Amino acid sequence: MRTVWALMAPVLLHLIFAAAALASEPVTGVDILIRSKSDGRVIVQTITDNRGAIVIKEMRPGSYSVEAGSKLPMALIKRSGSWGIALIPVATKTAKPQSHRARPSAQGMQVDIVVPEGVPISYTVIVTY
């Protein structure tokens, strides 16, 4: 029985954290750009899906910048002061969920994240307001 719980625990924790992140309304069609803070290289460039999410596979440890909404109309970005960007690790053994408030600007929203040392980690990124 312990083996079953040990195998299911990461999945259950992922679902619990995902539900908490989705307590705010997810935003679909938001442009996302993730860059390495060390060299400015673009790692991911995409838009959020119909769940307001993207999946980033196997991010290496380091510091990154998540930029969202640079292509959205400024009126939409300024509509609410409660924008957020959540990163939920697909496997919770090596990383904790991250939740960030994002302040809108003329360039969209931007938050800095740190992927902890260890093996590369896959994240689900959710943009909410």
pLDDT, average across residues 7-30: 56
Instruction: Give 86's strand partners.
Output: 99, 126
Give me the count of residues in the chain: 129
Indicate the number of domains in the chain. Answer: 1
Specify the CATH number for the domain of residue 124.
2.60.40
Would you place residue 2 in the very low, low, confident or very high pLDDT band (cuts 50, 70, 90)? low
Give 53-110 pLDDT, tens digit per residue.
899 988 899 999 998 888 877 666 666 556 788 888 887 666 788 888 877 777 788 8
Spatial CA neighbour of 85 closest among 41, 129, 20, 46: 129
| 6 has a pLDDT exceeding 50 | no
In this predicted structure, what is the pLDDT of residue 74? 67
Question: Tokens 């750009």 label which residue?
Answer: 33
pLDDT attached to residue 22: 43
Of all residues in the chain, what percent carry a pLDDT higher than 90? 18
Name the pTM for this structure: 0.71
Range of the domain at 84: 2-128
Instruction: Label residue 116 by pLDDT band (50, 70, 90).
Output: confident
Between the alpha carbon of residue 102 and those of residues 1, 13, 31, 78, 120, the distances in Å are: 42, 24, 14, 11, 25
